[in-house]
Structure 1
Amino acid sequence: MPDVPISDYGFLSDCRSAALVSRGGSVDWWCPDRFDGPSVFGRLLDRDAGYWSLRPKEGTDPDGEDPDEEDPDGERARTERGYLEDALVLRTVHHTGTGSVAVVEALAVEPGARGHEIGRHSPAVLVRVVKGLTGTVRMRLDFVPRPEYGLLTPYLHSHPDRVVAAAGPTTLTLRAPVPLTCEPGRVHAEFDVTAGQVLGFDVAYSPAYGTGPPAELDPVAAVADTAEGWRAIRETHRYQGRYPELVRHSALVLQGLTYQRSGAVVAAATTSLPEQIATDRNYDYRYAWLRDFSFTMNALWVGACPEETSRLFGWAARSAGRIGVGPVPIMYGVEGERDLSEHDMDNLRGYADSRPVRTGNDAWRQRQLDVLGEVLAAAYRLREQMHEFDEELRELLVGLTEQAAATWRETDAGMWEARDEERHYLSSKVMCWVALDRAVQLAPLLGERADPQRWAAVRDEIRLAVLHSAWNDETGAYTGAFGSPELDASALILPLVHFLPATDPRMRATIHAIETRLTVDGLVRRWSGDPAGFVLCTFWLVECLALAGEYDRAVALFERTAAHANDVGLFAEQLAPATGEHLGNTPQALSHIGLINAAWRLTESAPAGR
């Protein structure tokens, strides 16, 4: 089976877990207990790691993906899809030579849950409703569960209206209104759907040794209720700027990447989708980074969602705990877990033979000084929405500020989480400056431990060091690290955090150098050896061009970049030059955050009358 393009996947969420479903109708990824839990469908990373396919039989190989095969009458089958308006409910229409059928699918929310209540008590049920549109379509169902990342083949227990798959700690219950045939390790069915007919299917997860049976839902009612639950979120999004539909959709994706029980926002829904095919640049992004948290808070500010800010800061304060003398942890599990030690899953071949497949992420051990400033920047941006800071938040912000003052001269791994030697990264120094600058301005809200006079002195010292040591005459730009001639797209943050205006001559030269030397086919790479464009960095360039007064060029770059989203508006982490192929984990929070912030920047930077 050839690997399905990463851009072929749609995203479903119940704010507890995520599922990815291909254009061909196969759920190839689902970790039902929580985002960073073991998968039960893992064909995304290995053809033998499980899936649930529901699609027209025409041209179907039960183990394949052929959404546009020719049908028996010689006509080309077509597939089109989209989300229901303002909802993470996916509708896929299959047109065949004998008729058309729609499959509407979602991770069900708790009955009656609305808006930000989604995910607090998720039933852990994947629902799929088949609706006949025209003619008669022969459908095929294949259910091949493989819990624990494909390590387990379950026992199958057949009942009149369901099949129960049990293995290890996991129980999956497939319910269907059609006869099901069991074979060792798999279930299949074939059935006809005629115009006007509606059939509901679902798979419910439950722990093998849980306290109760799996949830039982009416799939048709669950789809409708889930759509209404998601639509309630739009009432809290009051964005009034440019590209409102794109911003609203990206905000919805961010909500879908939120683990509602704690408020943590995961970086992506997947692990080990490669940054470069057939290499080892494969990482687990199903965790919550303080950096991403800060960027998310800014996106929520743009989207005017103040009710989420206090809870998200509460998650950050609880996860970090009391800040001591050691490095501040830069990432956590979705419930605040600290130890995220990395493991290689040797049983999985990886997407497009890109090994290793990793669970856990050893970046949790790194020192990344930029996160200090990112959290302070978010607090400063959202100070009016929060009104006052409770004791835990004050302790967090003061602790981070003191860390910045004490450690800014040290080397670190940088925001790109380099796994070689530490360096004096420009972005880390600048964000330490941000930490102290924002803390000085927040001092009246930070209690008795605030020391704005000392903080201001250290802030000014950092600024002088950056201006002196980060500029490279040979390169003619601010470079990625002190003493290095290598360009790095992270330098684009300087105008965005108000360290330097985009119109400053040296900053203009840096923007121009990044645009001409790191940009390929309109996509900004992080450094010269980066094989693909990084979506977030490309949106940073949009913001910098707008701030530099090059508004029309900024708009053109924004629209060209936004057009690289897949057919249901999702971005992975990176885009391949020339082809626009999606690479890296998906959907990627930072990519959607970049879109939101760039749209807002174009709004506030627009010339009069535009």
Structure 2
Amino acid sequence: MLCWSEISTRQFFHGHDGRFTVAEDDFGRAELPFTKKILEGLPVVSKIEDYALLGDCRGAALVDKTGSLDWLCLPRFDSAACCSALLGDERHGFWRISPTQPIRKVQRRYRPGTLILETEITTDSGTIRLTDFMAPQTRESDIFRLVEGIEGEVEVESRLALRFDYGSILPWVQHTDRGIRAIAGPECVYCTCDLRVNVEDQTMVSKFHLGPHQQAAFQLTWTRTQDPPPLEKNVLQTLEDATAWWQEWSGRCTFKGRWREEVQQSLITLKALTYAPTGGIVAAATTSLPEHIGGVRNWDYRYCWIRDSTFTLYSLLIGGYTEEAKAWREWLVNAAAGNPSQLQIMYGVAGERRLTEVELEWLPGYENSSPVRTGNAAYRQHQLDVPGEIMETLHLARRYGLDPDEDAWRVQSAVMEFLETQWEKPDEGIWEIRGDQRHFTHSKVMAWVAADRAVKDVEHFGMPGDAARWKKLRDRIHAEVCAKGFNEKLGGFVQSYGAEETDASLLMLPLVGFVEADDPKMIGTLRLIEERLVKDGLVVRYLTESNVDGLPEGEGAFLLCSFWLADNYALAGREREATELFEMLLGLRNDVGLMSEEYDPFHKRMLGNFPQAFSHVGLVNTARNLVGEGGPAEERGHEED
């Protein structure tokens, strides 16, 4: 398959006849329809790792190496995309700004300490720089694209095809004094520039030449149809302000020592995935990027998982971002408020509860990986680890001295009352398996965590509660897990009671203090995981070949689990192996420091939704574990009773 990222041997340009030409050094020149549509029956798309993230802490966009913006959700992360070529082709919406000549070389970076993307594109006639950014310091939902001539003279084309509702709605596009206005029902998008604009097939097209120091600027703004036209901003001033905003924020990072730059970039990514109005942090900026190319494991991750809370809080506190940690805690308390029997594993960015899952039949999916889904039916699942994550997160907030929250203990008390009657029931488990409920070992361990943290909140912080009763509950859960979740024949803990399979979630046991890393039971568990789940040095979540989850086999290595393995090595005194694994994981990031959910070590490419908050949280926490004592792997659950 021909991928846009393979620019070292293949070059691309848009011909004046409206066709998309691929110049290949070894095989001559082949012409394809401009719609980037079909080559040998497959869509021509960029690899997941060829994308970079733009964000304003409310919505998000993805731009590939050649200047094609193929994913755009405004004004919120979970809004219906108006550019969806990522999950289909150019018929479904895109915005490309790129030379019309063959591309010979691409270099890109984020400006230091920011999420402002700079892409230098070189052709035979010269070089241009494309600067892409969103503006977190403003209230409007804007994207800005600034093109500058660096060397020689380059003909550039901007082609904007807005297609609302994930590419299903062709908008009405009108000329304005400074560009175009696209309308479809309640949504309206303006795009302004200083250039002559043509509208071809409801697509805004501009062609222009740039020499050294010459510039062309574009502003795209989302509004509601009934709103007045947005104010046009000074792009250069907005760029300067956005740079200052990001650099001030990233400059507050308190992480010291080795890997500071990598940690800072991951924290910037987490900030970009934060929905500023509420403090909620989405799991990823995308939906339906596949866990297996051509497969059906395609889920919508543009929501906030309670499970992410403890890991995320640690990473924010490690970086010194107390206000963000406080906002995340407040989002958690507000989302979890109410009857604990109605507690969900995930919520919308503003705390929405109904996340109805729908299949978008008109989208073929990334590299024909279908179905494409919006919403996530897993919100209805019962997962026993969620109460444990709530208790752990709010306990951690107290330990780190966040401003007291009067509502937090009310929520915790209700959660504990609920847990005491529910912990013995089966659930769907941490991986949201869509099959029969089981007694998952990790879920029971997190019930133990809930009881353990409740006891410590009473004894260490004077919170009102029956510590004696919760101690008995804690001891009972611990004894049951050791009796039923441990397989004597295999010599390790297993995925669920009575099972023969292991599970990467069991790497959490020493990280939450359930067992010590040098406990023989954990040593045996680690050995099982290394033997069965580690492939090419990376960790898969569980074996899928047996179809135990009701889905077809096949997915990549789960990057967060690989960070957990490094944490286990560190706790077990295997520092060299921990560092080597961590360095290998750093090497899997793309050229601008981003990571997806999974990685395919055989085909050496990223899989799953992108960028994935959990992967970046793992990077931050593991870096802290490796730079000295007192990291999350040592701290979680190891206070004295």
Name 2:293's counterpart in structure 1. Answer: 277
Is the contact made by 2:329 and 2:393 (CA closer than 8 Å) also made in structure 1? no
**Higher alpha-carbon deviation: 461-470 or 401-410:** 401-410
Is the contact made by 2:388 and 2:450 (CA closer than 8 Å) also made in structure 1? yes
CA shift for structure 1 position 235: 3.5
Name 2:116's counterpart in structure 1. Answer: 89
Q: Distance in 1 between matches of 2:64 and 2:504?
A: 33
Listed one character per residue, the Cα deviations across residues 290-321 of structure 1 (whole Å, up to 9, x for unaligned) are 01122211111221222223222211111222
Equivalent residue runs for 1:568-583 within 5 Å: 568-583=592-607
Q: Distance in 2 between matches of 1:448 and 1:378?
A: 15
Is the contact made by 1:398 and 1:446 (CA closer than 8 Å) also made in structure 2? no
CA shift for structure 1 position 445: 7.9
Asked whether 1:289 is paired with 2:332, we answer: no
Work out which of the residue numbers 181, 185, 192 in structure 1 matches 2:209.
Answer: 192
One-letter code aligned to 2:260: P
Asked whether 1:341 is paired with 2:341, we answer: no
Name 2:57's counterpart in structure 1. Answer: 15
Is the contact made by 2:360 and 2:374 (CA closer than 8 Å) also made in structure 1? yes
Is the contact made by 1:81 and 1:90 (CA closer than 8 Å) also made in structure 2? yes
Asked whether 1:105 is paired with 2:132, we answer: yes
Is the contact made by 2:52 and 2:63 (CA closer than 8 Å) also made in structure 1? yes
Name 2:377's counterpart in structure 1. Answer: 362
Asked whether 1:51 is paired with 2:94, we answer: yes
Is the contact made by 2:49 and 2:606 (CA closer than 8 Å) also made in structure 1? yes
Name 2:494's counterpart in structure 1. Answer: 479
Work out which of the residue numbers 400, 406, 411 in structure 2 matches 1:391.
Answer: 406
Name 1:155's counterpart in structure 2. Answer: 172
Listed one character per residue, the Cα deviations across residues 142-179 of structure 1 (whole Å, up to 9, x for unaligned) are 01000111111111111342111111221111112211
Name 1:455's counterpart in structure 2. Answer: 470
Asked whether 1:315 is paired with 2:331, we answer: yes
Work out which of the residue numbers 513, 537, 551 in structure 1 matches 2:561.
Answer: 537
Name 1:421's counterpart in structure 2. Answer: 436
Name 2:367's counterpart in structure 1. Answer: 352
Listed one character per residue, the Cα deviations across residues 534-590 of structure 1 (whole Å, up to 9, x for unaligned) are 000000000000111110011000001110011111001000022321101000000
One-letter code aligned to 1:158: H
Change in 2 beyond 3 A, CA 1:417/1:187: same
Change in 2 beyond 3 A, CA 1:327/1:476: farther
Name 1:558's counterpart in structure 2. Answer: 582
One-letter code aligned to 2:624: W
Change in 2 beyond 3 A, CA 1:51/1:387: closer
CA shift for structure 1 position 78: 0.3
Q: Distance in 2 between matches of 1:280 and 1:224?
A: 43
Q: Distance in 1 between matches of 2:189 and 2:543?
A: 47
Count of aligned pairs: 579
Q: Distance in 2 between matches of 1:328 and 1:475?
A: 35
Q: Distance in 1 between matches of 2:460 and 2:360?
A: 47
CA shift for structure 1 position 380: 2.1
Is the contact made by 1:25 and 1:54 (CA closer than 8 Å) also made in structure 2? yes
Name 1:594's counterpart in structure 2. Answer: 618
One-letter code aligned to 2:528: A
Q: Distance in 1 between matches of 2:82 and 2:67?
A: 17
Work out which of the residue numbers 251, 270, 287 in structure 2 matches 1:254.
Answer: 270
Q: Distance in 1 between matches of 2:398 and 2:494?
A: 32
Q: Distance in 2 between matches of 1:235 and 1:448?
A: 36
Name 1:167's counterpart in structure 2. Answer: 184
Q: Distance in 2 between matches of 1:531 and 1:181?
A: 44
One-letter code aligned to 1:104: T
Q: Distance in 1 between matches of 2:594 and 2:387?
A: 29
Is the contact made by 2:99 and 2:156 (CA closer than 8 Å) also made in structure 1? yes
CA-atom RMSD, angstroms? 1.7
Work out which of the residue numbers 135, 149, 152 in structure 1 matches 2:152.
Answer: 135
CA shift for structure 1 position 499: 0.9
CA shift for structure 1 position 508: 1.2
Equivalent residue runs for 1:297-308 within 5 Å: 297-308=313-324
Q: Distance in 2 between matches of 1:605 and 1:314?
A: 29
Gaps of 5+ in 1: 60-67, 69-76, 112-120
Name 2:232's counterpart in structure 1. Answer: 216
Change in 2 beyond 3 A, CA 1:388/1:83: closer
Is the contact made by 1:310 and 1:386 (CA closer than 8 Å) also made in structure 2? no
CA shift for structure 1 position 448: 7.0
CA shift for structure 1 position 446: 7.7
Asked whether 1:38 is paired with 2:38, we answer: no
CA shift for structure 1 position 228: 1.1
What is the TM-score of this pair, normalised by structure 1? 0.92
**Higher alpha-carbon deviation: 378-387 or 390-399:** 378-387
Q: Distance in 2 between matches of 1:220 and 1:388?
A: 39
What is the TM-score of this pair, normalised by structure 2? 0.88
Dislocated runs of 4+, deviation >3 Å: 384-389, 444-449
Name 1:527's counterpart in structure 2. Answer: 542
Is the contact made by 2:186 and 2:225 (CA closer than 8 Å) also made in structure 1? yes
Is the contact made by 1:20 and 1:30 (CA closer than 8 Å) also made in structure 2? yes
Listed one character per residue, the Cα deviations across residues 440-499 of structure 1 (whole Å, up to 9, x for unaligned) are 111268877522111111001011111111111333321111110101000000011111
Gaps of 5+ in 2: 1-35, 37-43, 545-553, 632-641
Name 1:71's counterpart in structure 2. Answer: none
Q: Distance in 1 between matches of 2:176 and 2:370?
A: 39
Change in 2 beyond 3 A, CA 1:445/1:332: farther
CA shift for structure 1 position 214: 2.1
Q: Distance in 1 between matches of 2:85 and 2:439?
A: 41
CA shift for structure 1 position 606: 10
Is the contact made by 1:551 and 1:606 (CA closer than 8 Å) also made in structure 2? no
Is the contact made by 1:46 and 1:351 (CA closer than 8 Å) also made in structure 2? yes
